[in-house]
Amino acid sequence: MSTEHDREECEKVFALLSDYLDLELPADACSAIGKHLADCPPCIEFAETLRKAIALCRQFRPEQVPQPLGAEAKEQLRRAWLKLDRDRLRPE
């Protein structure tokens, strides 16, 4: 399955994979990586697991939710907001 491999080339790709997956690379660098991946099963397999890890992280939300704010804390926030509103409406 594996072919003759240029390790240096793989290392270059390895360093740029996030930028590649985020589409943040200039077109020529992007196509060079695409070309390397097409010919390199280990790198494409690695890139695929990185892509999945990123997707997992994007979907990830901890189960923990905060206790709802108490009435007093919420009132404090509301007062700060209302005060601001009055200041804006009636500047000194």
Partner 1 sequence: MDREIEIDLARRLIAGDAGAFDRFVEHFQTKIFRHAWLMCRNREDAEEVAQEALLRVFEKFDQLKTPERVRPWVFQIARNECLMKRRRSIFAPERELSLEELMPVREMRDGGFRIEIADWSILPENEVLQSEMRGVLADAIAALPDNYRPVILLRDMEEMSTEETAQILGLSEDVVRTRLHRARLALRKDLDRYFRAHPAGKSATKEEGKE
Chosen residue from 9, 32, 36, 46 binding partner 1 by CB under 8 A:
46
Residue keyed to tokens 């360093």: 15
- Closest CB to partner 1 among 31 and 76? 76
Identify whether the C-beta of residue 10 lies closer than 8 Å to the C-beta of residue 40.
yes
Exposure of 38 in the CB half-sphere (CA atoms within 13 A): 6
**Binders in 47-76 for partner 1, by CB under 8 A:** 48-50, 52-69, 73-74, 76
CB atoms within 10 A of CB 47: 19
Q: Which residues bind partner 1 (CB under 8 A)?
A: 1-5, 7, 10-11, 14-15, 17-19, 24, 42, 45-46, 48-50, 52-69, 73-74, 76-78, 80-81, 84-85, 87-89
